[in-house]
Homo-oligomer: A and B are copies of this chain.
Amino acid sequence: MSKGKKILIADDEPDILEIIQFNLQAEGYEVIIAKNGDEAVEKARSFQPDLIILDVMMPGKTGIEVCNLLRLNPTFKETLIVFLTALSDETTEIKGLESGADDYLTKPIRPKVLLSKVNALFRRFNKEDTGIVKVGDIQIDREKYIVTLKDTDIILARKEFELLALLASKPGKVFLRNEILNLIWGTEVIVGDRTIDVHIRKIRQKLGLDCITTVKGVGYKFEV
């Protein structure tokens, strides 16, 4: 599940904050709230949320201003940002898109819509779209071939990287040895039995964190 993620909500209307907070917490998300634009910027910096929901109309800074500000900082380049607008406001939508929002929510908030959008965003974010997989402290960027553990880059060799990326693509799922061989080495190449183990060992060694579990007689799985 994509739960346990941090979500920052910024809105000047306490009711809205409460509705959203209640529903997201019920789904298992960790929620941080801000009552205006300035507070939003501040809390975004200190809490590093995975998703930020910004009301467009707020005293201090508008949601769009907050978004623009955050996007300047590379830390928030990958952070999901969703705007909250009254009704469908074409003009606002365009401005929002320009400042790099990932989606929209229109008031009045409908909890189910909210939840499904949020869930969908995390799903999308975790897989296809960015090619970046983020699980716990580990971030895997398929395009750049970089693994980051708590903001520290870790250099993995190609096979090691592919293996880790494969396992992390479905956290929890056990990949059978055959499955791994087919997906990473292909059906043509035949490698010895110990090859996988050695790569696994090197990954474990380099990460220094035990996030790969052996399921004896079955395969390996990635867990946080």
Chain A interface residues toward B at CB < 8 A: 19, 22-23, 26, 88, 90, 93-94, 97, 103-104, 108-112, 141, 143-146, 157-158, 170, 172-174, 215-218, 221
Shortest beta-carbon distance from A28 to chain B in Å: 14
Known contacts A19-B90, A22-B94; 15 additional CB pairs below 8 A are A23-B97, A26-B97, A90-B109, A93-B110, A94-B111, A103-B112, A143-B173, A143-B174, A144-B172, A144-B173, A144-B174, A144-B221, A146-B172, A158-B216, A158-B217
Shortest beta-carbon distance from A135 to chain B in Å: 14
A97-B110 in contact (CB<8A): no
Shortest beta-carbon distance from A147 to chain B in Å: 12
10 A-B pairs with the lowest CB-CB distances in the bound complex, closest first: A158-B217, A145-B174, A144-B172, A143-B173, A145-B215, A145-B218, A97-B111, A93-B111, A90-B108, A158-B218
